[in-house]
Structure 1
Amino acid sequence: MVNEPAFVDAAGRSVRVSNPDKIYFAERGFTKLDVVEYFVSVGDGILGALRERPTTLERWPAGVFDGARLSTRQDNRGDAFYQKRIPKGAPSWVETARIAFPSGRFADEVCPTELAVVAWAANLGTLTFHPWPVRRADVDRPDQMRIDLDPQPGTDFADAVRVAGEARALLHELDMDAFPKTSGGRGLHLYVPIEPRWEFTEVRRALIAYGRELERRMPSQVTMSWWKEDRGEKVFVDYNQMARDRTIASAYSVRPNPRATVSAPVRWDELGDVEPDDFDIATMPARFTELGDLHASLEARAYSIEPLLEMADRDEHDGEPAELPYPPDYPKMPGEPPRVQPSRARGATGAESSP
């Protein structure tokens, strides 16, 4: 039986929540209303992460249940999906930003300007918000360089924390700093505020140079290989997170796992003492009340990426490839090496393929 709707006050605007008792996380017993109220409880934080940014909605309208899966480009029959265009019937106060995909096609994406937009999207089943690293005023020049430390099989969150320490030391050498957060899973995200002077290709090139230097310093722990078969038990620096239309789950987003963990901003001095499961929709509101938004000062200073672009020039002078592979759904990019899995490339040349 469908429940009567509930109404939630989102910073002065009343937002209707349909079927509020619908179970969204069966293992924990969390309902749709619990999710909406969670977002309101961390309102300044989630809005700070999304405000004026084109945002893709990751919608789980049936909730998270055993066997639930996300639709992909290859198979759209999943239980959840990414919404890259504003849903039909959106209220007039839900604003948009026009963005261009790598294919050259355009879309009007949700662009949150007030907390009610977050609550409205949560009512539609949005658990994870994926904001672009740009503002609506200039959607072609990122104002954040996002470093995704992604532990590969055989590694875990503790490995990402160890890499993060060296990652920060390298940033300090470049007169830069970052704001860390958990991914909500095993990884870590480091956000570096940058001057919005460079286009996506240039910021991606800067991140490649940064990742290569980190790999040189920690060769047994860090990899820049795009191909999973070559990564080993290391932490992957996902440089393609700075390609156009690639996004990272925002701070305070809920992740679609049985525990309903959230992507949590953390202090550098507590990184070694926390675990991703410490942060979920039940525990984060009290933490937010106590500490406030740890990313509130993210925009207090914007850094130049010139030192990283100079590092990229030196790498290329020393023989490093000027480009690395893009994701498979992107058009072929200038100077990009062949998108061929290494074992297949070796097999094609007569060499023995990897097992």
Structure 2
Amino acid sequence: MASEATTLTVPGPDGDREVRISSPSRVLWPEPGITKLDLAEYLVAVGDAFGAANGDRPISLQRFPGGVDGEQFFSKNPPKGAPDYVRSVIVTYPSGREHPQLVVDEPAVAVWAAQMNTVVFHPWASRAEDSDHPDQLRIDLDPQPGTDFRDTVPIAHELRKVLDEVGLTAWIKTSGNRGLHVFAPIRPEHEFLDVRHAVIAAARELERRMPDRVTTAWWKEERGQRVFVDFNQANRDRTMAGAYSPRALAHAAVSTPIAWEELDDADPTAFTVRTVPDRLRSTGDPWEGMHANHGSIAPLLEWWERDLENGEGELPFPPDFPKMPGEPPRVQPSRAKKPSAKD
């Protein structure tokens, strides 16, 4: 019925809030039969851990009005009629344009987003109060065709060693799909471009240590059956699914923080909207205390400068970015103009 609705009581820092959920029986994930109300109740159940990971950050909402098998779109600024407890901050996009961006300050905001059929939450690597300076270094390990989640496991362990060598503490979560996300808290002292260069420096070091398993090649035709370190996820306004965010996959997977001791035996398909609340209650949040200490990316930037001197320069940016200083041509290698015999 069009008038079908229910109300959830959502605890928060300022007391309980009542959040209306219309069409609560709408199925968002057909395969497991998970509804909009199920999603809202999931976000209440993981509210504290979700907020610790994604709160106080500009965030984009990936919305699926007809469920995960249907059309989708992104929302960045609060729509008209948003509750008064939903706020936004002004952020600057790569084009230089400024625009308001949503912030999830409390569980009720996440539940309100679920009311709008938000499935995936994409937080920035920076805080709302200082959106130009990331306080997280994020590294996306993306398995290419011919590889899978198991291939990312030894790479993540080696990446942890790389980051430890430069004084950074690595934390890990499943992507919710086939890969892994490795985060390191950093002092918000540098712009996004510097953080991107720090990620590239770490990725190149990882590639040198594991050349048959790791690639930093931007063009897919050059990657082979290796795990790609997606350095462009470190750019301004480039995000990945947040910790405890559901994914728009058939089995309702969740991007789930895990302890390093769990990694070798982890099964990412076991972490779902149905299972993660019980896991959180029984094991606690593996990311608790993540931001107690922040490291510096200065050593990685020294590696970046060293690599520049050795002829390893800038890498390509995403196609929607303005042309950047030192960037190589954005031309697929197989389509690049070859020098003629006369040249």
Aligned: 1:153 with 2:145: yes
Secondary structure in 1 matching 2:258: coil
CA drift at 1:4: 2.2
Write the letter of the residue equivalent to 2:123.
P
Once residues 100 and 163 of structure 2 are traced to their aligned partners in structure 1, the CA distance between those partners, rounded to angstroms, is 35
Task: Tell me the SS of whatever aligns to 1:293.
Answer: coil
Please report the TM-score for the alignment, with normalisation by the length of structure 2: 0.96
Asked if the contact 2:164–2:170 (Cα under 8 Å) also holds between the matched residues in 1, the reply is no
- SS of alignment partner, residue 176 of structure 1: coil
Corresponding residue of 1:39:
43
Matches within 5 A, 1:107-256: 107-256=99-248
Among 56, 59, 78, the residue aligned to 2:60:
56
Aligned partners of 1:3 and 1:21 also within 8 Å: no
Superposition map of 1:289-308 within 5 A: 289-308=281-300
C-alpha separation in 2, matches of 1:47 and 1:231: 36
Q: Which digits, 9 at most, give the CA deviation of each residue in 1:245-285, with x for residues without a partner?
A: 10010001110011000000001011111111110011001
Alignment pair present for 1:28 and 2:18: no
For 2:4, the equivalent position in structure 1 comes to: 4
Which digits, 9 at most, give the CA deviation of each residue in 1:285-323, with x for residues without a partner? 1001112222121101100111101111111111211x1
Structure 1 equivalent of residue 279 of structure 2: 287
User: Which runs of structure 1 show a deviation greater than 4 angstroms over 4 or more consecutive aligned residues?
Assistant: none
Report the equivalent of 2:330: 339
On the 8 A contact 1:146/1:192 being kept in 2, the answer is yes
How far has the Cα of 1:51 moved from its partner?
A: 1.3
Higher strand share: 2
Distance in 2 separating the partners of 1:182 and 1:87: 31
- C-alpha offsets along residues 185-224 of structure 1, whole Å, 9 cap, x if unaligned? 0000011000000000111111111100000000000000
1:267 counterpart residue number: 259
Shift of 1:349: 3.3
Give the residue type in structure 1 aligned to 2:63: R
| Displacement of 1:350 | 5.2
- TM-score normalized with structure 1 length: 0.93
> Structure 2: how far apart are the matches of 1:160 and 1:10?
37
Q: Unmatched 5+ residue regions in structure 1?
A: 69-78
Letter in 1 for 2:305: D
How many residue pairs align between the two structures? 337
Q: Deviations over 1:74-96 (max 9, x none)?
A: xxxxx101112222221111011
Deviation at 1:2, TM superposition (A): 2.8
Structure 2 match to 1:72: none
Give the 3-state SS of the residue equivalent to 2:19 in structure 1: strand
SS at match of 2:101: strand
- C-alpha contact 2:167 2:296 (8 A) present in aligned 1: no
Contact 1:3/1:20 (CA < 8 Å) preserved in 2?
Answer: no
| Structure 2 Cα separation of the partners of residues 14 and 292 of structure 1 | 26
Matches of 1:61 and 1:350, distance apart in 2: 53
Please, what is the CA RMSD of the aligned residues? 1.2
Partner of 1:19: 23
Offset at 1:3?
A: 5.5
Letter in 2 for 1:293: D
1:170 deviates by 1.1
User: Secondary structure of the equivalent of 1:349?
Assistant: coil
The aligned residue for residue 326 of structure 1 is: 317
Deviation string, structure 1 residues 2-23 (Cα, Å, up to 9, x no partner): 3521111111111100010111
